[in-house]
Amino acid sequence: SSGSSGSAVKASGKRRRIQTGCMVKKQLSLSVFFLILANEGVDSIAQVLMKKGLPLSQINPLDIHDVVRFIVNGAASYFVQIGVLVYASNFFIWILILAQLDLSAAVPLTSVNYAILPVLAMFILHEKISFLRWGGIAFIVFGIYWVSKSKSLKTESLKPA
């Protein structure tokens, strides 16, 4: 039909409309939100484990012997080994998220890590967090909120109507 945004196609004896160039709005669902929280929780735990297992030493990144010694000592740590395994599981959660959400929305939402990690670092690693850093974290949290409320318009080339 003239003036429409798609064309009619005959498939399996039935007519269906294939729309080209239509805009689809995708929003953050509750299940994807919980996947993102799980992803960031797993990532945060992995980061803390690896940090806890790394040797505290000064290394010269230009000295290959220092770098190799640092890697060998770090790889020998059970905390680092468990952290790497936990971090690898993060990959599978991430691909589930990407299957459900636009990349341009998913990546900014992972910034929730900037709020989770300082809390874990305070309690587990006994790090001190300055007031200025907490202020920056608050801005990040507001940014996460704004991104989660935004809608993405995505063009699909062939979508059955």
Collapse the DSSP code of 106 into the 3-class scheme (helix H, G, I; strand E, B; otherwise coil) and give the result. helix
Task: Give 4-58 pLDDT, tens digit per residue.
Answer: 444 444 444 444 433 434 444 456 788 888 999 899 999 999 999 998 888 776 7
pLDDT of residue 143: 83
Give the whole-angstrom CA distance, residue 83 versus residue 43: 9
Query: Cα(152)–Cα(161) distance, rounded to whole angstroms?
Result: 20
Predicted confidence at residue 155, as pLDDT, reads: 47
* DSSP letter for each residue of 1-36: -TT-SEEEEEETTEEEEEESSEEEEE---HHHHHHH
The pTM assigned to this predicted structure is 0.64
Query: What is the reported pLDDT for 24?
Result: 46
The pLDDT of residue 89 is 92
**Residue 100 · residue 34 · CB < 8 Å:** no
**Average pLDDT for the chain:** 78
pLDDT digits (tens, 9 = 90+) for 110-133: 888 888 889 999 999 899 999 999
